[in-house]
Chains A and B, each alone.
Chain A
């Protein structure tokens, strides 16, 4: 029980802190949310490459993988796995393959939502 609480505490704190970084960027700079998302994904990819994000993911689980830098880290993992399997071709296929599930899900459910729901009158 104590272990479980600790596990979720780590997830909560790390996930929350990553969002706080985003919030500070949002409030203190002129960065729009789109730019912050791009920045976070690219940062996650590079932090993965230098080995930092893996440690964070081992420590905090979903606290590191659910925020957008986790998406970038996933791209990094994907490209390495593809290169190990297919050599140079993996440089091209790895990233998009790793992103495929999330992107396809966003397209599928976003499209379905556009069929089912209408924009609210403003």
Chain B
């Protein structure tokens, strides 16, 4: 009796110890699969566009544009958030997630008007990305300029 209770307690303790990590592992597997699949979609779009005889830069730019469109569209119809609940970083890290970070607040804050709602809130995540991305590009640009 006493022993079985003790065993139970120890078991619960073990469960408690193991749960967060196995949850993280599970999240990582989901992120891996969805993130990988989104990249494969990008690779496929890239391969199709290459057949149209576009230049290399054009192909990669149009691939990004199409992925951004898909991210915005599926955010608009509400599917991307569902995917996000499942995939976590798997849907945040690809460029479709960047599109989602622009579209979701744009739709959500529409009720606050088109200037300070849609126009401003659009950049709640994309803004910092652009700011620090640009700053990083200036730094590496300076380095490249003086060392090339």
Contact = CB atoms under 8 A, between A and B. Distances in A.
Interface of A: 7-8, 11-28, 33-34, 36-38, 40-42, 45-46, 48-49, 61-63, 65-68, 70-72, 74-76, 78-80, 82-84, 87-88, 90-92, 94-96, 98-99, 101-103, 105-107, 109-114, 116-120
A117 B76 contact: yes
A95 B138 contact: yes
Contacts, number: 267
A33 B125 CA distance: 9
A110 B122 contact: yes
A103 B125 CA distance: 12
Interface string B24-37: 10011001111111
Complex A-B, nearest 8 residue pairs according to Cβ-Cβ distance, in ascending order = A15-B39, A19-B35, A95-B137, A16-B36, A22-B89, A109-B72, A62-B42, A113-B76
Contacts of A20: 28, 31-32, 35, 89
Contacts of B33: 16
Interface residues of B, number: 72
18 contacts: A11-B40, A16-B39, A19-B31, A19-B94, A27-B24, A33-B97, A33-B101, A34-B128, A46-B140, A71-B95, A83-B141, A101-B65, A102-B95, A110-B103, A113-B72, A113-B73, A114-B114, A119-B110
